[in-house]
Amino acid sequence: MTDIQRNLPVDEQLALLKRGVVDLVSEDDLRRKLTQAQAEGRPLRVKLGADPTRPDLHLGHAVILRKMRQFQDLGHKVIMLIGDFTAMIGDPSGKSKTRPPLTLEETRANAGSYLEQCKLILRDDPEVLEIRYNGEWLEPMGYADVIRLASRYTVARILERDDFTKRLNSGTPIQMHELLYPLTQGYDSVALVADVELGGTDQLFNNLVGRALQRDYAQEPQVVMTLPLLVGLDGTEKMSKSLDNYIGLTDEAHRMFAKLMKVPDPLLNNYFTLLTDLSAERVAELLAGHPVAAHRELAREVVASLHPGADLEAAEERFKSVAKGGIPENIPTVPIPATERNAEGRYSLARLVVLAGLEPSNGAARKLIGNRGLKLNGETVAEAQASIELPEGGAVIQKGKDRFARVIAET
C-alpha cells in the first residue's frame, strides 16, 4: 500500500468505489466516512458476509471481491465474515422455498476452500484483511438474547421483503427461522461495528436491516453498497454452477480464456465494468470496434488478473485451435492400466472418461456419451456402452468444447 493510494482525494476514491454499484445508501454517508477516515488516519471497516454453502467460487463472486480489493487498495480494512452459523439457517433471499440448512461442520469445511479462493483477488495482509466467523457471537447467544434481538424489528417490516411477500401471497410456507435470518445477518454488522457492508442486489434488504439495527444499538449506521449479479454465459440467468453457465475462479487459464471469448455480445460492457479496471473510454472504444477484439481484450484482462503468470498467447492459440475443430498440443496424457482391458483387449469408453478425470462416475460418463457430448479422436461417439482398442500412440477423448485428455495403454 502506498501513501499515494491512501491519500487519494475523497472525490477520486468515491468515483472508484461507485463504479458498477447499483445501490448506495447513502453516497453522502460514504463521502463523510471517507473524509473522516482520511482526516483521522484510520481505515474504514468494510464487511462482506458469505454463507459458505458451496466450496467453489466463480466470476460472479469476483464482482464483489474486486470491490473489496478496491477498498483494500485505498488503505481500508475488509472483513470477510464467514456465516458458519447463519448458513445453518439458510438464507431465504430470492428463494421460492425453504433452503435446506447445513451443519456447522459442513459450513466450516466449505469455508476453507472459500477463503483460499477469495485470496486470489484479495490482499492477504492482516493490515487490510480480517477473517471472522459469526458463530463467535451467535452460537453463545441464549434464548433471552434472541428474544431481545427479535424485539428490535417488526414482522410488518420483515414481510416487506419481496420474496417473503410473494411466498405469502402464493401460500408457500415461510418458516419462523427464515424470518429471523435478516435480523441475524443484521446483528453481524453490530458485532463487527461495520462502516460499510457490501452485497449483491439480492442482499439489499438484509444489509439495510443491519443499518437499522446499528442505529438501534447506538452505532453509526453502515453504508450499504450492492453490486449486480453477473449474468452467466447463457445470457439469461445469473452466473451459477448449478446452471453450468459459470467461469470458475480456479479454472485453468486456457479454459477461462476460452469461456470469456464466448460471453454474449450484449454482456460485454457489463463484464468489462465489473471484472476489469479498464477506463470507461477504453471500454467504449472496444465496444465500438469488432466484437472479437473486444472479447480478446476482456479475456486477456480477466485471465491476467487471476493468473498473473499465465501465457496469454498460448491460451489464445489454444482457443483458436479448438475453435477450428483442432486438438491442442498441450493436453494431459493419462496412462491406462492393463487391468482395465477386457478379454478382447478392449477398453470401456465410459471407463476411460472417468480415468481421464472428465466425469466422476461410469454412469455420468455413459450419460455424457449418450447425449453426444463426447468425441473420440475428433469424432462424436453416441454409443454409451462403446469399447475401443488403444493404439500405440493412444487416443484423444474430448468433453464439450475444451476438455481434452490423451489416454494411452500402459506397457
Q: Rounded to an integer, what distance in angstroms lies between the CA atom of residue 303 and that of residue 275?
A: 10
Spatial CB neighbours of 79, under 8 Å, sequence gap ≥ 6: 45, 46, 47, 48, 130, 131, 132, 192, 194
Question: 399 a known binding residue?
Answer: no
Q: Burial, 309: exposed, middle or buried (Cβ in 10 Å; 0-12, 13-18, 19+)?
A: exposed
Q: Are 230 and 59 in contact (CB under 8 A)?
A: yes
Distance CA 62, CA 275 (A): 7
What Rg, from alpha-carbon coordinates, does the chain have? 25
* Alpha carbons 37 and 14: distance in angstroms, whole number: 13
Residue written as cell 449479479? Answer: 229
Mapping DSSP to helix (H, G, I), strand (E, B) and coil, where does residue 183 land?
A: helix
Q: Which residue has the cell 464466448?
A: 262
Whose cell is 453498497? That residue is 225
Give the DSSP letter string of 204-270.
HHHHHHHHHHHHHTTSPPPEEEEEPPPB-TTSSSB--TTTT---BTTS-HHHHHHHHTTS-GGGHHH
3-state secondary structure of 193: coil
Which residue positions form the known binding site for ATP?
A: 241
Which residue positions form the known binding site?
A: 241
